[in-house]
């Protein structure tokens, strides 16, 4: 036995140690590295193991055999089935700065405050008893350890728990901020509680069974002392299954689990470590439960509660130090749970209960700037409530059963959370109906019986139902009798959630506003205002900024509010204090996101309405902008909505169509998605212009300014439209005749205007020009209104999508396609013979047949070429070879998808080795001119590939890295269609991925750090061909290389000597990036930072005899230029 003061001193010492660890976690580099380690994350999730695990598992095993186990099997199951879900949720949390599980649910359902409040109430009611269990366990074990009941200990313990929660987790307003100190503390506590329990297990088993051999030989005999399950037979099996499922859900959605798993998650990739490490921890934590229960049955003094075996047996054996260690272990289990759970709950209570009330009720308005203090008060209230709950309800057994009831409450969130991620049509009404119904059923079937059994409510309620309605008996609802209470309650609660959720969503589908918010939350929103991007900045930002600061100041200190608002505004780079319409929308969204980090997304959404409500002046500006846009689009608002709907439906159909490709080929699917997004963006960004032309074909005054850009002309008015469209003399004449025909007014307007050509090429731009007759008051045609639309990118993307559809078509009919290729080869061979015999008719027939068949497979390049060839009067064998090349090129480009080569059919083939090719190259200069040219072209075709092919899936790599690092990166590829020798350049191209990863990981900043450069970082890869050498440039506009830091790292690692560096210029110093072990990265990640990858790049460049040049400017970016000399003189160039 210990004196109470000794135990308190030990507790105080342990808490002091935790404080020291928290400080280290917050302030030292070592601590931050530990906090960011994946194993620390995995240990954080074991906050799941509370004093319930420490004491309750052994007690439950002694009385119910294996019934304790599903609580720990559930999380293992959750990890198997749900790790992708956890990662998706972590990404959404990072994206929307979500603060809690209630915030997450409400954010999905239109940022509904009602949903958030309901979830908060559910979890508060469900978890107070769980907190009570921790207090009760620690007080009971303190009494056991000291041998006396100390009335002062419980309030002291509760006060200490509140203080620790505030100190470790509630010191800052922004709950999305990670707490490395707390993370380290929780991980440390997890290790302590595991070691303590293992030590107890080893000791107790050794004490009870000193002879290991006898332990194994006596297993069957000992087993007779334990039941396999409880006394209820089949019902216990049902309970086992039910608890497994409930535990799987609770492991993910209990507030403390959600907080540790998502809010404190520093890298979604850590989930992969946790998926095995956390279940392994739970396994080890439970490995001695059954042996201790068995030993307790054999050794414990009569009257000892099985719940206390783990502590009672060492005490009984006089093991003071071990007993104290076990107590500290249980203290760790309780503290970890209480700190994290209370922190998560108080965030929800303040954001979703207090704040909405403070906003609506004027007298409570004083609380708004004091939300941090509100959280402290809520923490104190929660813990006092838990303590009083423990005092009033007393019996530990009752508390243990309430622990499972709490699991059931958390499980109710599974339906709206998981459903909301996979079912877009789920609505706020459905979520409210489901959660409300489920909560009501949970209270009635699980909570009320608990109160009845503790004597707070009359027993008749269970036996006879309310007011004698037997159908409403809480444990036999609607006459369903005989089930274990937990199974019965869980069944009805979950059924109520599902029925309410599905029924509510079907009967009251999401409104348009809610659907837009949902799409924005799930990342599917198409930026419907994007087509305005680039318009003039017309909206004053100062007033909105001031209003935002005022709103923010209601929740935080004024200086912090100003800093946050300035950060958001600064990121949008206003021009003369003004923003465009799109930027204005972005400003409102950005402000709301930042505020959500402090007060939750639902409250932020409400609060921001005050900021978003525009002043009369701004309203007029917005209306004017809107009207201007509609005028440009020639649409009224309803038509605009229809257009948007149509485009969305079209995009949805496209996506659906392309999803079919996913199963067939991942690479194709990725490309299609990218192009579909681009297509949507193009549709939104299309550049329009309007001009008016008279009968003379001359453009009149009053055209839109965009026409100058579209037609690449400084002056448009007064110029003939035919000239502006760069028509030839004949074409201009025809065009003028067409205009005359419209003005003649003999034909209906639409028929006459349809006669005019509509597609034009002006420079690099493709234009669609559509005419509409404008009639005067007398009904005569006074002018023609032309709509000029830039369709350049649209055409390109449509072309690519057309190609993708062709690939899908080919994949579906691959055998037929291969037969077509065989046939084509044979036809081309016979056509070549015919051409040599000057049999033009046969050749033309073959070409036409090939064109038709190629069209049926969507081989556009082949069709276009065949069409062009058909216009030749005399088709030569070279023309047929061109056709072969077109096939070969198409199939080579798409070989990864189609797996077919033009030369690899059933026809007899000849294989050439690289040596053969080299021999042919040597032969080429000695051939006559024409043959030399043909051979050289052929050699180039067969021995070289586009550079792009060698780089692999770099778009996907960069995009994925950027997403993972929370960055926005625009990748541009230039000149990569140039063909190069794959044997020679493949290793270098593959090594380039190191440069790209470094650029994304260390070069480009996060959007919030880029300031005036704009949120999106730019990364360009460009191949510039030269006579003597090719140069590959990799350029980013990031933060540049910190040369001084690079030198410092190199010196610290002994890679270079100070005297050596002193002689170097900056351009020489920066070359250190290519040395092994030299990196400016703060930490080694799985992306980069080891300083090895860049060395590999340099080795490849040196192998090719090339050189590297680096230009870097701090804050502006870095350009790597890799000069790769050409190996041998080009055959043709030197042949003449």
Of 2, 86, 240, 376, the one binding another protein (CB under 8 A) is 240
User: Minimal distance in Å, beta carbon 241 to another protein?
Assistant: 6
Of 65, 434, 571, 1017, the one binding another protein (CB under 8 A) is 65
Of 45, 79, 89, 447, the one binding another protein (CB under 8 A) is 79
Nearer to another protein, 248 or 396 (CB): 248
Neighbours of 405 (CB within 10 A): 25
Q: Is 523 in the site for another protein (CB under 8 A)?
A: no
Cα 777 from Cα 784, distance rounded (Å) = 15
Residues 6+ away with beta carbon under 8 Å from 873: none
Nearer to another protein, 76 or 450 (CB): 76
User: Minimal distance in Å, beta carbon 76 to another protein?
Assistant: 5
SS (H, E, C) 75-134: HHHHHHHHHHHHHHHHHHHHHHCCCCHHHHHHHHCCCCHHHHHHHHHHHHHHHHHHHHHH
Six-digit token string for 175? 């709950």
Nearer to another protein, 997 or 1098 (CB): 997
Q: Are 858 and 802 in contact (CB under 8 A)?
A: yes
Kindly write out the interface string for residues 272-311 of this chain, putting x where it contacts another protein by CB under 8 A and - elsewhere.
xx-xx--xx--x---x--x---------------------
Nearer to another protein, 987 or 1011 (CB): 987
Q: Is 1031 in the site for another protein (CB under 8 A)?
A: no
Nearer to another protein, 22 or 73 (CB): 73
- Closest Cα to residue 141, out of 54, 230, 77? 54
Six-digit token string for 190? 């997890």
Cα 341 from Cα 513, distance rounded (Å) = 34
Nearer to another protein, 216 or 646 (CB): 216
Can you say how many angstroms the Cα of residue 81 is from the centroid of all Cα atoms in its chain? 19
Q: Which helix (H) or strand (E) holds 17?
A: helix 4-27
Of 151, 213, 220, 1052, the one binding another protein (CB under 8 A) is 220
User: Minimal distance in Å, beta carbon 281 to another protein?
Assistant: 10
Q: Which helix (H) or strand (E) holds 790?
A: strand 781-790
Nearer to another protein, 146 or 239 (CB): 239
Nearer to another protein, 557 or 666 (CB): 666
Kindly write out the interface string for residues 1065-1104 of this chain, putting x where it contacts another protein by CB under 8 A and - elsewhere.
---------------------xx-----------------
Kindly write out the interface string for residues 435-474 of this chain, putting x where it contacts another protein by CB under 8 A and - elsewhere.
----------------------------------------
User: Minimal distance in Å, beta carbon 1049 to another protein?
Assistant: 25
- Closest Cα to residue 114, out of 473, 360, 283? 360
Question: At what angle are helices 860-870 and 792-812 packed, to 10 degrees?
Answer: 110
Of the ranges 235-243, 259-267, 373-381, 760-768, which one interacts with another protein (CB under 8 A)? 235-243
Of the ranges 223-231, 394-402, 543-551, 1041-1049, which one interacts with another protein (CB under 8 A)? 223-231
User: Minimal distance in Å, beta carbon 83 to another protein?
Assistant: 8
User: Minimal distance in Å, beta carbon 656 to another protein?
Assistant: 19
Q: Is 879 in the site for another protein (CB under 8 A)?
A: no
User: Minimal distance in Å, beta carbon 1124 to another protein?
Assistant: 24
958 exposed, middle or buried (CB, 10 Å; 0-12, 13-18, 19+)? buried
Of 24, 34, 69, 345, the one binding another protein (CB under 8 A) is 69
Nearer to another protein, 276 or 646 (CB): 276
Give me the phi and psi of 1122, to 5 degrees please.
Answer: -105, 110
Cα 781 from Cα 646, distance rounded (Å) = 32
The site for another protein, by CB under 8 A, has a size of 44
User: Minimal distance in Å, beta carbon 833 to another protein?
Assistant: 45
User: Minimal distance in Å, beta carbon 1003 to another protein?
Assistant: 16
Of 1, 9, 20, 241, the one binding another protein (CB under 8 A) is 241
Rounded (5°) CA angle 6-10-15 = 145
Cα 491 from Cα 442, distance rounded (Å) = 9
Rg over CA atoms, the chain: 37
Nearer to another protein, 280 or 914 (CB): 280
Q: Are 1036 and 1019 in contact (CB under 8 A)?
A: yes
Nearer to another protein, 28 or 228 (CB): 228
Residues 6+ away with beta carbon under 8 Å from 441: 477, 489, 492, 493, 495, 496
Map the footprint of another protein across residues 989-1008, applying CB under 8 A: 997
Q: Is 223 in the site for another protein (CB under 8 A)?
A: yes
Map the footprint of another protein across residues 185-214, applying CB under 8 A: none
- Closest Cα to residue 780, out of 753, 745, 736, 752? 745
Kindly write out the interface string for residues 1109-1128 of this chain, putting x where it contacts another protein by CB under 8 A and - elsewhere.
--------------------
CA distances from 1032 to 295, 982, 989, 1036 (A): 72, 15, 10, 13
Of 40, 244, 351, 580, the one binding another protein (CB under 8 A) is 244
Give the residue ranges of DSSP H helices in 109-254: 113-146, 153-169, 180-208, 212-217, 219-223, 234-253
Of the ranges 74-82, 539-547, 678-686, 767-775, which one interacts with another protein (CB under 8 A)? 74-82
> Dihedral, CA atoms, 224, 229, 230, 235, nearest 10 degrees?
-140
Of the ranges 233-241, 828-836, 926-934, 1077-1085, which one interacts with another protein (CB under 8 A)? 233-241
User: Minimal distance in Å, beta carbon 80 to another protein?
Assistant: 5
Nearer to another protein, 78 or 396 (CB): 78
* DSSP one-letter string for 817-885: HHHHHHHHHHHHHHHHHHHHTT-HHHHHHHHHHHHHHHHHTT-HHHHHHHHHHHT-SS--HHHHHHHHH
Residues 6+ away with beta carbon under 8 Å from 257: 45, 47, 48, 250, 251
User: Minimal distance in Å, beta carbon 993 to another protein?
Assistant: 8
Helices (H) and strands (E) in the chain, counts: 54, 13
Cα 582 from Cα 591, distance rounded (Å) = 14
Map the footprint of another protein across residues 647-676, applying CB under 8 A: 670
Nearer to another protein, 5 or 228 (CB): 228
Give me the residue label for tokens 């009359």.
458
Nearer to another protein, 219 or 747 (CB): 219
Of the ranges 121-129, 225-233, 652-660, 1106-1114, which one interacts with another protein (CB under 8 A)? 225-233
User: Minimal distance in Å, beta carbon 245 to another protein?
Assistant: 9
Of 25, 56, 70, 504, the one binding another protein (CB under 8 A) is 70
> Dihedral, CA atoms, 619, 622, 626, 631, nearest 10 degrees?
90
Of the ranges 221-229, 501-509, 787-795, 1045-1053, which one interacts with another protein (CB under 8 A)? 221-229
Cα 441 from Cα 698, distance rounded (Å) = 77
Kindly write out the interface string for residues 936-965 of this chain, putting x where it contacts another protein by CB under 8 A and - elsewhere.
----------------xx--xx--xx--x-
> What is the binding site for another protein (CB under 8 A)?
65-66, 69-70, 73, 76-77, 79-81, 83-84, 219-220, 222-223, 226-229, 237, 240-241, 244, 272-273, 275-276, 279-280, 283, 287, 290, 670, 952-953, 956-957, 960-961, 964, 997, 1086-1087
């Amino acid at each position: 036995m210990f004196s109470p003061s000794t135990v308190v001193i030990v507790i105080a010492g342990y808490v002091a140690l935790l404080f020291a660890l928290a400080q280290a976690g917050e302030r030292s580099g070592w601590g931050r590295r530990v906090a960011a380690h994946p194993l620390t994350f995995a240990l954080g999730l074991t906050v799941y193991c509370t004093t319930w695990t420490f004491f309750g598992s052994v007690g439950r095993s002694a009385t119910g055999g294996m019934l304790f186990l599903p609580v720990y099997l559930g999380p293992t199951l959750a990890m198997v089935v749900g790790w992708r879900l956890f990662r998706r949720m972590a990404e959404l949390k990072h994206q929307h700065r979500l603060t809690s599980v209630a915030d997450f649910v409400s954010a999905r359902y239109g940022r509904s405050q009602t949903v958030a409040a309901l979830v908060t109430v559910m979890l508060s009611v469900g978890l107070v008893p769980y907190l009570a269990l921790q207090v009760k366990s620690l007080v009971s074990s303190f009494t056991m350890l000291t041998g006396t009941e100390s009335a002062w200990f419980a309030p002291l313990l509760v006060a200490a728990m509140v203080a620790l929660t505030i100190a470790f987790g509630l010191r800052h307003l922004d709950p999305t901020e990670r707490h490395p100190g707390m993370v380290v503390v929780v991980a440390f506590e997890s290790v302590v509680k595991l070691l303590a329990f293992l030590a107890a297990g080893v000791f107790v088993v050794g004490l009870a069974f000193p002879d290991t051999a006898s332990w194994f030989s006596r297993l069957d005999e000992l087993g007779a002392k334990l039941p396999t399950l409880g006394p209820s037979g089949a019902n216990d099996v049902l309970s086992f299954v039910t608890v497994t499922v409930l535990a799987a859900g609770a492991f993910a959605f209990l507030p403390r689990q959600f907080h540790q798993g998502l809010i404190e998650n520093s890298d979604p990739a850590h989930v992969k470590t946790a998926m095995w490490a956390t279940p392994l921890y739970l396994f080890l934590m439970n490995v001695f439960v059954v042996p201790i229960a068995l030993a307790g049955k054999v050794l414990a003094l009569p009257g000892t509660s099985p719940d206390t075996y783990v502590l009672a047996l060492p005490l009984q054996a006089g093991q003071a130090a071990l007993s104290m260690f076990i107590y500290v272990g249980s203290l760790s289990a309780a503290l970890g749970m209480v700190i994290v759970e209370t922190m998560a709950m108080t965030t929800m209570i303040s954001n979703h209960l207090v704040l909405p009330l403070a906003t609506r009720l004027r007298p409570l308005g004083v609380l708004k700037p004091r939300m941090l203090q509100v959280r402290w008060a809520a923490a104190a209230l929660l813990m006092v409530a838990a303590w009083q709950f423990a005092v009033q309800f007393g019996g530990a057994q009752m508390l243990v059963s309430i622990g499972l009831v709490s699991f059931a409450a958390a499980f109710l969130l599974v339906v709206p959370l998981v459903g909301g991620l996979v079912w877009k049509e789920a609505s706020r009404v459905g979520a409210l109906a489901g959660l409300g119904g489920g909560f009501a059923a949970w209270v009635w079937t699980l909570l009320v019986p608990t109160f009845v059994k503790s004597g707070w409510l009359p027993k008749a309620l269970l036996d006879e139902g309310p007011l004698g309605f037997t159908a409403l008996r809480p444990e036999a609802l609607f006459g369903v009798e005989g089930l274990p209470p937990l199974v019965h309650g869980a069944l009805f609660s979950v059924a109520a959630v599902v029925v309410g959720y599905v029924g509510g969503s079907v009967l009251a589908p999401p409104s348009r506003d809610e659907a837009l918010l949902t799409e924005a939350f799930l990342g599917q929103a198409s930026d419907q205002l994007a087509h305005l991007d680039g318009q003039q900045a017309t909206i004053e930002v100062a007033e909105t900024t001031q209003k935002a600061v005022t709103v923010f100041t209601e929740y935080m200190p004024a200086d912090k509010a100003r800093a946050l608002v300035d950060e958001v505004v600064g990121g949008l780079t206003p021009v003369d204090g003004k923003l465009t319409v799109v930027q204005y929308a972005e400003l409102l969204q950005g402000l709301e996101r930042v505020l959500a980090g402090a007060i939750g997304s639902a409250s932020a959404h409400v609060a921001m309405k005050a900021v978003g409500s525009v002043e009369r002046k701004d309203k007029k500006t917005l209306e004017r902008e809107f009207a201007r846009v509609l005028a440009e689009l020639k649409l009224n608002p309803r038509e605009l909505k229809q257009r948007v709907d149509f485009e969305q439906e079209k995009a949805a159909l496209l996506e659906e169509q392309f999803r079919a490709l996913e199963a067939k080929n991942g690479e194709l699917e990725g490309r299609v998605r990218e192009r579909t997004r681009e297509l949507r963006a193009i549709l939104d960004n299309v550049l329009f212009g309007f001009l008016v032309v008279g009968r003379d074909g001359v453009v009149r005054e009053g055209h839109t300014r965009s026409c100058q850009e579209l037609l690449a002309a400084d002056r448009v008015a007064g110029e003939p439209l035919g000239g502006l469209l760069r028509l030839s003399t004949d074409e201009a004449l025809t065009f003028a005749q067409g205009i005359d025909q419209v003005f003649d007014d003999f034909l209906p307007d639409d028929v006459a205007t349809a006669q005019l050509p509509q597609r034009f090429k002006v420079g690099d731009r493709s234009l669609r020009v559509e005419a509409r007759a404008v009639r005067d008051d007398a009904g005569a045609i006074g002018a023609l209104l032309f709509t000029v639309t830039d369709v350049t990118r649209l055409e390109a993307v449509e072309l690519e999508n057309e190609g993708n559809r062709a690939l899908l078509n080919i994949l579906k009919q691959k055998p037929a396609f291969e037969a077509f290729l065989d046939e084509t080869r044979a036809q081309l061979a016979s056509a070549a013979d015919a051409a040599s015999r000057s049999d033009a008719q046969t050749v033309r027939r073959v070409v036409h047949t090939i064109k038709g068949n190629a069209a049926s497979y969507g081989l556009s390049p082949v069709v276009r070429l065949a069409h062009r060839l058909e216009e030749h009067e005399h088709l030569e064998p070279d023309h047929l070879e061109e056709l072969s090349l077109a096939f070969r090129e198409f199939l080579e480009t798409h070989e990864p998808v189609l797996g077919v080569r033009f030369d690899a059919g059933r026809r007899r083939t000849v294989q050439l080795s690289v040596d053969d090719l080299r021999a042919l190259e040597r032969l080429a200069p000695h051939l006559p001119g024409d043959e030399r040219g043909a051979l050289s072209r052929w050699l180039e075709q067969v021995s070289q590939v586009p550079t792009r092919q060698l780089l692999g899936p770099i778009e996907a790599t960069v995009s994925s890295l950027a997403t993972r690092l929370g960055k926005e990166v625009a990748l541009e590829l230039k000149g990569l269609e140039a063909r190069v020798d794959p044997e020679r350049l493949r290793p270098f191209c593959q090594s380039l991925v190191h440069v790209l990863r470094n650029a994304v990981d260390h070069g480009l900043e996060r959007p919030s750090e880029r300031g005036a450069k704009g949120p999106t970082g730019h990364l360009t890869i460009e191949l510039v061909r030269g006579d003597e050498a090719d140069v590959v440039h990799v350029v980013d506009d990031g933060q540049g290389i910190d040369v001084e830091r690079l030198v410092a790292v190199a010196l610290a690692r002994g890679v270079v000597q100070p005297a050596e560096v002193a002689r170097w210029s900056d351009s020489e110093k920066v070359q250190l990036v290519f040395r092994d072990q030299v990196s400016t990265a703060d930490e080694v990640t799985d992306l980069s930072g080891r300083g090895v990858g860049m060395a590999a790049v340099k080795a490849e460049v040196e192998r090719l005899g090339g050189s590297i040049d680096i230009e870097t400017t701090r804050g502006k970016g870095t350009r790597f230029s890799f000069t790769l000399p050409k190996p041998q003189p080009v055959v043709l160039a030197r042949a003449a």
